[in-house]
Structure 1
Amino acid sequence: MPTDAHPAAPRPAVDHDVLIVGGGHNGLTAAAYLARTGKRVLLLERDDHLGGAAVSAEAFEGVDARLSRYSYLVSLLPQRIVDDLGLDVRLVRRRFSSYTPDPRDPSRGLLVDGEADAASARDAFARVGAEGDAEAWQAFYAETARVAERLFPTLTEPLPTRAEARSLIADEHAWDAFVERPLGETIDARFADDLVRGVVATDGLIGTFTDLDDPSLDANRCFLYHVIGGGTGDWDVPVGGMGAVSGELARVAREAGAVLRTDAEVVAIDGDSGEVRWREGGVDRTARAHVVLAGVAPVVLDRLVAAAAGTASGATEPSAGAAASVAPRDEPAAGAHSDEVPLDAGARHRLARAGMPEGAQVKVNLLLTRLPRLADASVAPEQAFAGTFHINELETQLDAAYRRAAAGDLPDPLPCEIYCHTLSDRTILGTGLAESEAQTLTVFGLHVPDRLVDAHGNDELRERLRDAVLASLDSVLAEPIADVIAMDAAGRPCIEVKTTRDLEHALNMPGGNIFHGTLSWPWLEPGAEAATPADRWGVATAHPRVLMCGSGAVRGGAVSGIGGHNAAMAVLEEELP
């Protein structure tokens, strides 16, 4: 308690109320909310454009097509955020949920039509010999829909406790199936057919390198976020591509008065004083804020705090949600060796990546002159590619792919999921292409952990993954996919491959992890702190003046704006001076 003899030290002057590090969609969401309340907001983005992973780009030289380069579908963006900020964002619902050619006999496949009646749905399952799973499928997804309807609205509210979430779901059978038991056990108990099991399982594996039966329940958390979006679990196509979403967020943030600066690379964050150092235009700059919001991954935040403390080795307390602090690339951790035991380059590299989150996917963008013909002649390509196109994703294939990758080799065949944006929205194509039969394909390959980059080298792995994706596609087509791949202005095939290391370099996502780290349950676990607004909103870090506002926040991950919204709500609840 201050006395007359020892008065409290005055708070240091600040340049901004809130300083946001990172101009991805979450940072932009936070900026928009806070600026609309009159807060002085400065956002710093190291790249020359805003949007982070939610961007559109011309990926192929001389080709007038703006692809959603990294993220590509929207499910978790709450209508509440759209309405609060007045976003002009249009999403297209896909009629066909998925198509899965049967690897056991590619002349047949499972087409899941959202508009099919019960008899037609049963016939679709019967075509792949899984008629016994038709009713189980309907019951299973009716159950996930009930969970979604009850749980999704809580994502933009203070965190419920685990007990409150369980009571809210009010279905002990569903709680046990999705929260208490490994996802693989639940799937195997509900479904008999290998193909059906695999289709269900993929929602627990996208971007997550794990076994379906792992007691860590990593697959369960990944699955939960994939099936609760919008209160329905639907994944929609953003008209204009993902860049239209981040572009709208940037527009409303600027109009509210937020200052958004690109080519501004933050190099240090002082978690005690709120001072941020960055480089912009070749000049070192400094500013102080009441609160700093970190839209970067927790591991990156730890590095920036360590840099401010003069401990660039990374020896600092990890932020909430971070597995551990890590050293910058190719710098050994403090105390890791002595002068008597020099480390070679390989050892230094391994130490530098110790504790790094690990992504587990490859992203491939393609432009086609037309859709290819399928080995299954009973399904039109326009139907098959209109939803999620699953390739080589029997449950047994997914299990084999995981084990092969865990042993250090590339899965063969590579499990893949494909999305065709242009069947739902042709605005991303220039006039000439839009009037042609051209289509874009986004391929997402599973079970490709970042460790494979170190085992094979990034350039070699990128080539092998390109070939593996094309081979996976060829295995279910009636013609080689190469015959319908368009050429760019230089005569090269329109194929773009992004490995986990490519994502790390382009987006500052450690290990290429698209969730910035391990996903958390969307509630407070027993014993968790709930003393501050940051705790209650799931955005706390180890530093009181620094809040997490990106995918590394509790309830982060995917293009949702939820991390940014919740960080903004915590700031407003704190009532800055």
Structure 2
Amino acid sequence: MSDHRAGPAVPSRSRYDVVVVGGGHNGLVAAAYLGRAGRRVLVLERLGHTGGAAVSTRAFAGVDARLSRYSYLVSLLPRQIMADLGLAVELRRRRVSSYTPVSRDGGGATGLLVDNGDEAGTAEAFRRLTGSGREYAAWQEFYGRTRRVAEAVFPTLTEPLPRRDELRRRLGDDPLWEALFERPLGEAVEAAFSDDTVRGVVLTDALIGTFTHAHDPSLRQNRCFLYHVIGNGTGDWDVPVGGMGALTDALADAARAAGAELLTGCEVTSVQTDGGDAEVVFRSGGEEYRVGGRQVLCNAAPRELDRLLGAAPSGPAPEGSQLKVNMLLRRLPRLRDRAVDPRAAFAGTFHIAESYRQLETAYREAAAGAVPSVAPSEIYCHSLTDPSILGPELREAGYQTLTLFGLHLPARLFPEADNEAVREAALAAVLRQLDAVLDEPLADCLALDGEGRPCVEARSPLDLERDLGLPGGNIFHRDLSFPFAEAETEAGSAGQDPATPGGRWGVGTAHPNVLLCGAGAVRGGGVSGIPGHNAAMAALGR
């Protein structure tokens, strides 16, 4: 976790220009921009540190390894924000995009290694898997089209919210728009690819933290997919050197340097507003405090803001759909696919039980109320890209971190009374599928902590709700939205009237001086800073 301490938990004044509720990365971005614009800013964070879900921590007792505990990679953070705020943080590119192990009939093992630095080797991997060059050509064409979407859409994320027709004209490709914005993603995937494994690799980007399927008519999968392929106009996912905590520590420094006041250990209990002035009530050290502000920016989920305002919850209850697992290994395990070096296989995104059919089966089993019998997941090994998160002795000894993200494990499977038992069952299910593609048990490679326990920790959606205040454990705060004004928004629905600053930037609420600056904003989700930037622009009336 971040080692920053925000000083005394008592505000230095009774009134500010802006009070930011929540010191996650988006709240820090907003505070830095507003402070640089001369506003008096107070940030109130419930936890004992800033950074929210984007933190690093020594997860295992007596072990010198700082893991990015909840958020792993960075794609959506605009270089513009980093430059504006003077963030001296390195985002390191992963050469390997992904590896997907495949079991052959008769017991053989192979796999698909997508190496961004070796086009010929990647083409050969596709040929070995599918028997021809067709799927690789389709892969290049498909992601060439998503690159065009990224180049057209990403720059708009830090501009006033465009209307649907404006964004469609900006893309300038009606068939592509229809495929990704109007029709279920499964249609485009099935039209482009014929191989079950390749289809699954593509679809996984539509399912991260989102409980849905390829042909969901609500297009949840399309929205999730879009945000996973447009980052910085390329869709690349990078590793923050020093871990996620290095990024949020830099943001906290930028906010303080801009004059913002950051207080931790402060739980906001209510927000009251008459549309022109607001009062924020919070508790710290057993005492209650009240501060006034001309504007309030909320970095918590919209459902949490409703509670603070004393309003009825708006929209359906959010539901997360993931199991987050952190591990430390003494060494990387051997693979059944002997043609691939484990250091290459684990250097990108390692897909497990994520073929197209397996993903559909897992979704149906989870929708019926059961932990999937073949549980899909993907793994990231940050220490291969950034060894600095390990202490010198661990690096020299060959230790590695693994973070596993289990899919199709919705909050409904984890009732409060049985959360621990179901979490252990889900953990066993995902590790069982990992063991199935290894040539040795993962347990033989796990490091032990200072008390002799295996270095494995798992977090269910219910745990994320308790740890981070995410309703239903939803890592996006609520369902993701397309990055444009919907028809009802154009008609002036509550909080999104395009004639108001909040509506113009996609961060408005029913109260003109209360804005969303977190993942629940129209262009929220991921470690991006975009909602923080946009809320700051709205607060400044730009």
Using structure 1 for the length normalisation, give the TM-score: 0.88
Distance, in Å, in 2 between the alignment partners of 1:112 and 1:130 is: 16
Distance, in Å, in 1 between the alignment partners of 2:246 and 2:481 is: 28
Structure 1 equivalent of residue 379 of structure 2 = 418
Matched, 1:157 2:125: no
- Give the unaligned 5+ runs of structure 2: 1-12, 490-496
| SS of the residue 2:111 aligns to | strand
Counterpart of 1:49 in structure 2: which amino acid?
H
Write the mapping of 1:130-529 to structure 2, written as runs, cut at 5 A.
Answer: 131=132, 132-272=134-274, 273-306=277-310, 316-318=311-313, 322-323=314-315, 355-454=316-415, 457-528=418-489, 529=497
Give the drift of 1:104: 4.4
Answer whether contact 1:366 1:496 (CA < 8 A) is retained: yes
Counterpart of 1:461 in structure 2: which amino acid?
V
Answer whether contact 1:130 1:193 (CA < 8 A) is retained: no
1:182-225 CA distance string (max 9 Å, x none): 01111011100000000000000000001210110000000000
| SS of the residue 1:133 aligns to | helix
Give the number of the structure whose alpha-carbon radius of gyration is greater.
Answer: 1
Matched, 1:562 2:530: yes
Structure 1 equivalent of residue 4 of structure 2 = none
Distance, in Å, in 2 between the alignment partners of 1:527 and 1:426 is: 48
Answer whether contact 1:183 1:219 (CA < 8 A) is retained: yes
1:482-540 CA distance string (max 9 Å, x none): 00000001110000101001100000000000000010010112242311011010000
| SS of the residue 2:273 aligns to | coil
Answer whether contact 2:43 2:260 (CA < 8 A) is retained: yes
Answer whether contact 1:277 1:286 (CA < 8 A) is retained: yes
Distance, in Å, in 1 between the alignment partners of 2:141 and 2:416 is: 43
1:539 to 482, 507, 518: 507
Answer whether contact 2:369 2:413 (CA < 8 A) is retained: yes
| SS of the residue 1:126 aligns to | helix
Counterpart of 1:41 in structure 2: which amino acid?
V
| SS of the residue 1:417 aligns to | strand
Counterpart of 1:540 in structure 2: which amino acid?
G
Answer whether contact 1:14 1:290 (CA < 8 A) is retained: no
Answer whether contact 2:40 2:260 (CA < 8 A) is retained: yes
Answer whether contact 1:541 1:547 (CA < 8 A) is retained: yes
| SS of the residue 1:447 aligns to | strand
1:152-171 CA distance string (max 9 Å, x none): 01000001110110011111
1:486/1:280 Cα in 2 relative to 1: closer, same or farther (>3 Å)? same
Answer whether contact 2:416 2:462 (CA < 8 A) is retained: no
Sequence identity, in percent?
59
Answer whether contact 2:476 2:519 (CA < 8 A) is retained: yes
Answer whether contact 2:61 2:450 (CA < 8 A) is retained: yes
1:319-358 CA distance string (max 9 Å, x none): xxx41xxxxxxxxxxxxxxxxxxxxxxxxxxxxxxx4200
Give the drift of 1:129: 2.0
Distance, in Å, in 2 between the alignment partners of 1:457 and 1:406 is: 18
Counterpart of 1:136 in structure 2: which amino acid?
A
Give the drift of 1:130: 5.3
Structure 2 equivalent of residue 72 of structure 1 = 72
| SS of the residue 2:156 aligns to | helix
| SS of the residue 1:120 aligns to | helix
1:414-465 CA distance string (max 9 Å, x none): 1010000000001111111121210000000000000001287111012112
Distance, in Å, in 1 between the alignment partners of 2:14 and 2:415 is: 44
Structure 2 equivalent of residue 91 of structure 1 = 91
Answer whether contact 1:103 1:392 (CA < 8 A) is retained: no
Using structure 2 for the length normalisation, give the TM-score: 0.94
Note the aligned Cα RMSD (angstroms): 1.3
More divergent stretch after superposition (293-302 vs 463-472): 463-472
Structure 1 equivalent of residue 7 of structure 2 = none
Answer whether contact 2:198 2:355 (CA < 8 A) is retained: yes
Distance, in Å, in 1 between the alignment partners of 2:15 and 2:123 is: 64
Distance, in Å, in 2 between the alignment partners of 1:171 and 1:483 is: 52
Distance, in Å, in 2 between the alignment partners of 1:511 and 1:436 is: 40
- Give the unaligned 5+ runs of structure 1: 1-12, 307-315, 324-354
Answer whether contact 1:445 1:469 (CA < 8 A) is retained: yes
| SS of the residue 1:371 aligns to | coil
| SS of the residue 2:211 aligns to | coil
Answer whether contact 2:281 2:290 (CA < 8 A) is retained: yes
Answer whether contact 2:14 2:290 (CA < 8 A) is retained: no
